[in-house]
Chain A
């Protein structure tokens, strides 16, 4: 397949002229493995789902006549009896997700160098960071539920706060969990040599999903936690 793509690419132009070239005449439009094209289609549709959640949050927050709880206070955490540090756990979770994105990018790179051992190890490291992220989220949920946050109310202000929190972070956490499972399965197959002949595009495809999960968190962090 990549041979066909290569021979086509050699004759085609790049940029907008390339766009016209790729779409004209009866031939393959996207010069990428089909799995990668399908992963992108899935990610674009997932973008719509997450945007619906975030736009729903925006509408709910704009339309409530009650004061919104202050996220910096709600998500503050104190260590060893010190003063509560605002948003500290969320900041740590953000850094963990970025770190995992970095190890994933390196895994893709090692995959294309056909260094399957390093690729599998880095994917497992990524999955481990993802699992620790989910663990911290479980801690956060437990803490808020103990403090009385429910989808229909909370002790501090607008009752919509709880429903938005559980829906948005829950759906994102579900994606991280699925990503951890997906990464573990692919890493095991990579290590066992299942892709030695087929090529290591699968590592990049898995990586696309993982980077997308990190990307969604960037928006959740900005709009829900910092706003």
Chain B
């Protein structure tokens, strides 16, 4: 598993679930029901301010684990499991982790 933090463009359903995403010039569709949770941050080490009224997003961040398949690729084993996080203030998405399923797919590209 690799740890990344790069920007991704995500299209969501009206209820806020990720539906499709663009990452590294490639289109992906979410192919299984995503799982969502909130994960604690070590805010006392990561932030320099925590004033009253800072609002949400200081103590935790929202994580979505999605299974995606690259557009046009219908092979059964070509899915990727990604952990995405949505920044509270800007609403922008970042890619946090790529799970092991990535390796076979990426290797040919980078090799």
The answer on A and B forming one complex is no
